[in-house]
Structure 1
């Protein structure tokens, strides 16, 4: 918990910088410069509003891959590299859904943390999805980034666990056997919230480990979430009209962070 608070502060809001679709993916629009400028605008708005950290993700590279094309990793490194001098808060990366690619990108860009599905076995939109924690942590050592903070998503979106254990049991196991630095609890897909009772159960089972809400935290729910969880990762709620694929809305971010500051104070 000490390392978590040192990196993020108290009850952090980690805001998503969702990149536009990258080269080689079905929705790519043909301009890397446009991707950089959209990310720059979103980054500036989020930082000005006082978010605790930002995370760069390739959410628009749909359909998602479990072994990501190198072009996506190279493009993400290019975007983060272009913006690196403008980033004033801790930042992380998430290459959906490839832990090895996320580790490589973090090492190349100097990111402080990575979010991934490192553990478990799922039936998913992408097919059979198996965690790669052992391989990923050995790769982290090879890359010389033992300092890299790892956020383990233990209830993967777009998927169902092929595991008879409860969410709490999977979360405890991710910490004990797979060395999770923090545990994330998700809803069924991007923009849909985790159930509050799930957050409460996981936090009760892991009192000394950071537990965060990973998806679907909104203006009307964030105060309740922060009463239970140690922080939240937020993307959709901060977008224009609350729609995942829109640009970040300055007014929505300011309103959201005002609620967060009141919740922290109480």
Structure 2
């Protein structure tokens, strides 16, 4: 049994993304509609996800494009306001992801009571956002300083829109990440949000670290969820839950319900 059962309530967990609209300081923030609009759109998506039956939710500033690797204070402040206003509506375990800043993700988790964070904690990358460096030792020390030691750390080891500077295979990365950093989970991604995770890569990672939770981090859809969940311990799902399966759209509760029905059927067969 993994920690997923204790924290989220089930194995083969589905963590649904609640993508926040652009926030103050973001290039595409709508000043006329303001933060009230951001909050209400987040509430709309949250309710559709929960009513559709997801196991957990992760709030992220997905529309803060183009992303920063050192996020500004106004972003995390705005995210804290959104989650604070939604607190009475949140009925499932939740996590947070401040793209792409590991320490601020932990700050937000500590402030809101989030159970987990997903981030790029390790590695050095050539990315669309420039040279992308990390400092996992300082990040984990920060986690303990702020009283967030019980927050689960989901390490994305295949960052979107980025590539390791060193020539290392994925099994080597998985093994050394686990040995050096004791992550709670490894997330395996496709190129961008909504892009399918390569099942062969997913299997290589799971085989390399069989005792660690491995999550399919992008691109799990109705037509591949059984294949992906037969390998991974769970999945992070965002785009597949949206109207017409398009990243920029809002959550479609009907799509969520259909997806989760298939997940529950898969789980029941897996148990047998």
CA RMSD of aligned residues (A): 0.9
Using the TM superposition, give the Cα deviation of residue 173 of structure 1 relative to its aligned residue in structure 2, in angstroms.
Answer: 1.2
| Cα distance between partner residues in 2 of 1:244 and 1:174 | 30
Query: Paired residue for 2:185?
Result: 182
Matched, 1:23 2:12: no
* CA positional deviation for 1:129: 0.7
Q: Distance in 2 between matches of 1:217 and 1:3?
A: 21
Q: What secondary structure does 1:151 align onto?
A: strand
Runs of 4+ that moved beyond 6 A: none
- Residue 99 of structure 1 contacts residue 132 of structure 1 at CA under 8 Å; is this kept in 2? no
User: Secondary structure of 2:16's partner?
Assistant: strand
Deviations 1:34-53 (A, max 9, x none): 11011111111111111110
Query: C-alpha distance in 2, partners of 1:218/1:20?
Result: 23
Q: Spell out, residue by residue over 1:134-173, the C-alpha distance to the aligned partner (whole angstroms, 9 max, x if none).
A: 1111011001111000000000001111121111111111
Deviation at 1:93, TM superposition (A): 0.2
1:231 paired residue number:
234
Gaps of 5+ in 2: none
| Structure 1 residue aligned with 2:6 | 6
Q: Which runs of 5+ in 1 are unaligned?
A: none
Indicate conservation of the 8 Å contact 1:186/1:213, yes or no: yes
Query: TM-score, normalised on structure 2?
Result: 0.96
8 Å CA contact 2:52, 2:254 repeated in 1? no
How far off its partner does 1:239 sit?
0.3
List aligned pairs for 1:59-70, cutoff 5 A. Answer: 59-70=62-73
Would the aligned equivalents of 2:4 and 2:13 in 1 still touch at CA under 8 Å? no
TM alignment of 1:188-207, pairs within 5 A: 188-207=191-210
Task: State the alpha-carbon separation in 1 of the partners of residues 140 and 176 from structure 2.
Answer: 16
